[in-house]
Amino acid sequence: MIKMTNVRPLANKVITTMDKYDIDLKHGELVDVNKLKGTVKEYQTVVAVGPMVHYINVGDTVLVNPAAYGKPKHVRDQGNGSIAQNTEGYHVEMEYHFPTIMIDGVEHLFITDRDIDVVCNIEEVPDPIIQAPTIQIV
């Protein structure tokens, strides 16, 4: 087993945390399918930057753009006991494969600076509950 410490990325590489959602996030009663338990959060903290990276520093919170790591996957539809069983149907699902690196036994994202859209400060606040407007009859 190899234990890496004091990791310094080269060129325009960036190492960030790989924080994931602990629970499914909801907006009122609706589950946000982009923020399910176990999926990688879009906001990460920078752990190390390469020498060619400008305007991004260690400790910054960044918005990671996962588009470069998504690949379509064709999934065969299952029949339901009717004629549809004899007809092949497919639908497309997106799979995301992020490049990672293990540092001190913890998985981190190992991405390039062009996959970061924003450097920002964030504060997680609970979503307001969506309520239907009340109607008064006069």
Q: Which domain CATH number covers 89?
A: 2.30.33
| Residue 4 forms part of a structural domain | no
Question: What is the count of structural domains for the chain?
Answer: 1
How far is CA 50 from its chain centroid? 22
| Residue 81 forms part of a structural domain | yes
Specify the pTM: 0.73
- Phi/psi of residue 73, each to 5°? -125, 125
Q: Which of 14, 86, 81, 83 is nearest to 50 (CA)?
A: 14
Cβ neighbour number for residue 49 with a 10 Å cutoff: 21
| pLDDT tens-digit series, residues 46-85 | 999 999 999 999 999 999 988 788 899 888 877 665 565 5
Containing structural domain, residue 98: 13-120
Cβ neighbour number for residue 1 with a 10 Å cutoff: 4
- Average pLDDT, integer, range 104-116: 93
Q: Which of 8-17, 27-36, 63-72, 123-132 has the highest mean pLDDT?
A: 8-17
